[in-house]
Structure 1
Amino acid sequence: MSIASLIDPITPDGGHTRFDNLDHWLQGRTLYGGASALIAYTAAVRAFPDLPPLRAAQVAFVAPTAPEAELRREIVRQGRNVAQVRSEIWCEGKCTLTAFWLFGTSREANATHPAAPIADWPGPPEEAETAMKGKGPAFIQHNFEIRRAQDIRGPGDPVVRRWARLEDREGLDPVSELILLGDVMPPGAMRAMKRQGPISSINWSFNLLEPAPTTRDGWWLSENASQHADDGYSSERLRLWNADGKQVLDGMQSVAIFG
């Protein structure tokens, strides 16, 4: 029922949509960013079912998203190989999320260069220690299983790396799963904060490194690393690997650091 509450109400027609039973997906007073991004993505692909595979996205978290929403989506341009689609969530007459999705057909490779092997491989998820049990926001406690993937605890290098998987993946294709899970970790800047305080994702941009990523038993290795933090903001690099250490997503995010 958890995943269904996010995607079942979405129709190809878009427009006014009500989402019920979303308490388990909240982060403070808004939807968890991955959940709202999944809603926007699902609205796009259900409206335009003949799109090629997703290759990249830019998502802006503009304002808190509520259960009563209007879903808007349009094809901005569709060429021979690439389609660019915009989808938005509006609540109470204001845009709360806007996303730009880039879909592209496969072509004969003129350049081949695999992602670099992961540094400091933490070992397989099956051998990792459980983390965040009984801690963290509601959306983590009710929807994700988290395991440790680094020795560091508390302050230190501004990197957060964890194994993560969805408790309920029924009905999700691999790309939707990554969108829902890709924003699950707190920012790496959390380890450099002088005191505890609220944090908020402002945007998220990512490239998918393959159109149909796969992993073992739903496990993905998620890493958020702060590249620079000052003036209340952190520039973060977000990466995801599958259970065998193959990178499947490369992204960036801007995070507001309060407190």
Structure 2
Amino acid sequence: MNKFKGFFTLFSFFWLWSCGFWAIFQWFVTGKIAWFGLLINAWALPLWILFRFRNPQRYSGDLRETPAFATVLAGVAVTLLTDTDRGQPVYLAIANLFAVLVYLFHLSSLRQPAMPRSDSVFPALGTAGGENWDAAEFCRRQGAEGVLLVFLRGSFCADSRAQLVQLASIERALHSRRVRPVLLSTEPADNWRRLWRGGSAAEIVQLCPADERNRQFVAAAGAPPWLRLLSRLAGGGGPSAACRPGCWLLDGEAHVVWRYLPENYRLPGSGEFIRGQLVRLEE
């Protein structure tokens, strides 16, 4: 299913970019405003995601990606009002609206497998270096009263980048409760270290996708196809696995105090939402 959704996500964005270029060409050839409406309709979502990726400090999303979705609808409205012949621009604008809706509510959805329950002990994980990472041992080593585990989908994901910015903004609240944040992904730690904006260095753990202990937390085909393609063109192997987004608050003995398993990777859990759960360590 991940490969199927990844392929259609790639196809949807390729289609939207292509429609935009076609609309620019037709706009200059015909001068019809309907093609300008199609351009707005086609490029609203891809540009919004690009802005979010490039500047997560300023732009953040939600389930409907409201700014992008409103612009898509505005493009449909312009096309419908100006294309009196009900020609190609209208049909393409409606097709683009369908592609955006499928992406927002299906292609970015998640199916979480069975996960450790609240009050259970969080399992040990296997790192890319073949080592054992245990939350209770980490707390003892750091002298922490709790640990916040944040599974990040990937540095290619605008929502993961935005979550990283929000985590840095609640660093003081975590420090006051002696809770250490730990970032986990299938990518090298350097990918996240250069994006971290917190005052102190966060613990970053690279998980091994092939390790059986990580099976619940890693999607085998979770990385987007375009990332694998670009990596192979550059001579690399191309990553295929990605962590399933999720947040876990553990006490000093690695018991699960709270967990958040999103049903859509565009809702990984905001910083303020996580901050509000820290009181659970006092219960």
Q: TM-score range by the shorter chain?
A: under 0.3
Q: Which has the higher contact order (CA 8 A, sep 6+)?
A: 2
Return the structure number with greater strand share: 1
* Greater Rg by CA: 2
TM-score by length of 1: 0.27
TM-score by length of 2: 0.25
